[in-house]
Amino acid sequence: MRHLLYSIPLAGLLAASAMAADVNSIAILTPEKGSDFGWNQQGVDSAKAAGEATGVEVVVADGLGYGDVRAPMRELAAEGVDLMIAHASGYNTAAPEIAQETGVPVAIVDTPDGLTEGLIADYTLSGHEGAYLAGRLAGKMTTTGTVGIVVSGEPPSWNSQSAGFAEGVKAENPDVKVLYAVIGPAAYSDAAGGNRVTTSVIAAGADIIFGQGNGSSFGMIQAVETNKATDGSDTLFIDVIGDKGSLDKGHLLTSVVWDMTPVYTAMIEDLKNDTFGTTGYAISLSDDSVKLLKTPQVDAAAWDEVMALRDQIIAGEITVEPVFDAEDVRSLVTVTE
């Protein structure tokens, strides 16, 4: 009888461990090389960090382009990975299909309604709170009274940052004009377009550019480096997602840096606990998965004020709601009367 009593909790323990899924390896698939100082690099670096933290092997399949990703996903599934992170909004159609076909769970972006328990999870991330702070900083530091937003596309996560930036600028100083320009439809690699559009926005009066563009953002940076503002001052650039500090020639004001390590770590834990696909994932200021980069170009007093605002957001005293729709972004920028 005593043996029977001992065996009950032991059986429960064994059953629980059998229920928890084994996660030995995960894969991340990115459209461009993981060396773009932005979305792709942050994704790859964060996946590696999450793998290291959880003892899981990470397979990197980068530079896959924006086309059909089904073939490499089938290969990875055949290799036995336990999770495929499809790190591009362009993979949102193929990845769920492959998940259904192979039974290997996938994580996709920009599809909050696409959850399927045990199979498909979404991580539509938004750095809107960080972008709001960047907007407050731009509002304090603009000398022409005009700032610009230049984007190479309008995916939901970028829209929320554009909106957050515009809201931050207006909250700081309602008189500051916010210009908004999209380079072209999915012009993620159009560096020449980034340069051309940014040059026009600077010529229209902007002295601080909030740029979201993948490869095209380097064209924006080149434009900022080679064009003075209309009042003769240096123009400044605010980057997103990655840290381009090592490439800076004195024009990088700040960057809304994302760290996706907590997101991918949570995905792995959810897989282990059989709760994958039941909820989405987010990044926030509170755990520094969203933070502003401090550069030598930032005014010290303005930085301190912005950090105080950060604390207020974390404390819930200031609320910044994410805005994912492009139409709503345009309603926040300066419109012709």
Partner 1 sequence: MEALLTAAFLSSLLTGAIVAGIPLLLAGLGEQMSEKAGVLNIGIEGMMLAGAYLGFLTAWTSSSIWLGFLGGIAGGILVAALMALLCVVLRLNQIVIGIALTLGVEGMTALLHHFQFSRTYPRLPAPDRVDLPFLTDIPVLGPSLFGRHPLVYLALISVLVLAFLYRRTNLGLTLRAAGEKPAALDVAGGHVIAIRSAAVLFTGGMAGLGGAYMANIGAGLFIPYMTGGAGFIGIVLAMLARGRPLWVLAGALIFGAALSLTTALQVAGSNIPTDVIQMLPFAAVMLVLVIWGRRARLPAALGVGYERGAR
User: Interface with partner 1 includes 84 (CB under 8 A)?
Assistant: no
Residue where the block lists tokens 């700032």: 147
User: Interface with partner 1 includes 197 (CB under 8 A)?
Assistant: yes
User: Interface with partner 1 includes 225 (CB under 8 A)?
Assistant: yes
Of these, 88, 182, 236, 240, which contacts partner 1 (CB under 8 A)? Answer: 182
Beta bridge partners of 241: 257
Q: Which is nearer to partner 1, 19 or 192 (CB)?
A: 192
DSSP symbols for 198-258: HHHHHHTT-SEEEEE-TTHHHHHHHHHHH-B-TTSPBPEEEEEES--GGG-SS-EEEEEEE
* In the complex, minimum distance from the CB of residue 246 to partner 1, in angstroms, rounded to a whole number: 8
Distance CA 4, CA 256 (A): 59
User: Interface with partner 1 includes 334 (CB under 8 A)?
Assistant: yes
Of these, 76, 137, 169, 187, which contacts partner 1 (CB under 8 A)? Answer: 187
Count of residues in contact with partner 1, rule CB under 8 A: 52
Distance CA 263, CA 280 (A): 9
Q: Which stretch binds partner 1 (CB under 8 A): 111-119, 122-130, 175-183, 275-283?
A: 175-183
* In the complex, minimum distance from the CB of residue 85 to partner 1, in angstroms, rounded to a whole number: 20
Q: Which is nearer to partner 1, 62 or 82 (CB)?
A: 62
* In the complex, minimum distance from the CB of residue 213 to partner 1, in angstroms, rounded to a whole number: 10
Distance CA 246, CA 131 (A): 21
313 contact partners, CB below 8 Å, separation of at least 6? 129, 132, 133, 285, 319, 320
Residue where the block lists tokens 């996938």: 106
Of these, 49, 115, 181, 282, which contacts partner 1 (CB under 8 A)? Answer: 181
User: Interface with partner 1 includes 216 (CB under 8 A)?
Assistant: yes
Please give the residues from 141 up to 160 whose contact with partner 1 meets the rule CB under 8 A: 146, 148, 154
Of these, 205, 272, 275, 303, which contacts partner 1 (CB under 8 A)? Answer: 205
Distance CA 166, CA 134 (A): 9
User: Interface with partner 1 includes 180 (CB under 8 A)?
Assistant: yes
Distance CA 128, CA 156 (A): 11
Q: Cβ(43)–Cβ(34) under 8 Å?
A: yes
* In the complex, minimum distance from the CB of residue 195 to partner 1, in angstroms, rounded to a whole number: 5
Q: Which stretch binds partner 1 (CB under 8 A): 71-79, 192-200, 293-301, 302-310?
A: 192-200
From the CB of residue 316, how many other CB atoms can be counted at a distance below 10 Å?
7
* Pairing of the two strands 25-29 and 57-61: parallel
Please give the residues from 235 up to 294 whose contact with partner 1 meets the rule CB under 8 A: 247, 249
Report residue 84 as tokens.
């495929």
Of 196, 226, 230, the residue nearest 213 (C-alpha): 196
Secondary element (H or E) of residue 57: strand 57-61
Q: Which stretch binds partner 1 (CB under 8 A): 19-27, 92-100, 167-175, 200-208?
A: 200-208
Q: What is the pattern of x (binds partner 1, CB under 8 A) and - over residues 36-75?
A: xx-------------------------x------------
User: What residues line the site for partner 1 (CB under 8 A)?
Assistant: 32-33, 35-37, 63, 146, 148, 154, 177, 179-182, 184-185, 187, 189-197, 199-205, 215-216, 218-219, 221-222, 225-226, 230, 247, 249, 326-327, 330, 333-337
